[in-house]
Amino acid sequence: MPKDEIRPLWRLLMAATSQQEGVTLSCDDCFAILEYLADMHARIGISLKLLRLMAKNHLSCCPDCRQYYRQRLEQLESLQVAAAETAKEPP
């Protein structure tokens, strides 16, 4: 399959839940599934367990996404620290 070919969501979900060896998802595939699962959690309250598992699995085998994830966490932590410090400052 060409790298930039778009697969239907149902095929991505089938691939993600497949027990076959060698089934891999691209970063775009993984993020499409994660977005879908997050939307389903927001809409109908499906468990976040599957969402966390998929994210963890992808991050364990994708150094680019793992680095991006770490950078985003650092940014969010910096924002939280800054917000906490701002809240402590007297008016």
Please report whether residue 46 resides in a domain. Answer: yes
Q: HEC profile for 46-80?
A: CCHHHHHHHHHHHHHHCHHHHHHHHHHHHHHHHHH
Please report whether residue 4 resides in a domain. Answer: no
Closest-CA residue to 16 (of 46, 73, 55, 49): 55
Please report whether residue 3 resides in a domain. Answer: no
The pLDDT of 46-59, averaged and rounded, is 76
Which has more pLDDT, 3 or 49?
A: 49
Query: What is the per-residue pLDDT for 23?
Result: 64
Q: Is the dihedral of CA 37, 42, 43, 49 positive or negative?
A: positive
Please report whether residue 53 resides in a domain. Answer: yes
Query: What is the per-residue pLDDT for 15?
Result: 73
- Structural domain span for residue 59: 9-88
Task: Inform me whether the pLDDT recorded for 87 exceeds 70.
Answer: yes
* Tally of domains within the chain: 1
Please report whether residue 54 resides in a domain. Answer: yes
Please report whether residue 1 resides in a domain. Answer: no
pLDDT in tens, 6-47: 778 777 777 776 666 666 777 887 778 778 878 888 888 877
- On average, the pLDDT of the chain sits at 77
Please report whether residue 44 resides in a domain. Answer: yes
Please report whether residue 2 resides in a domain. Answer: no
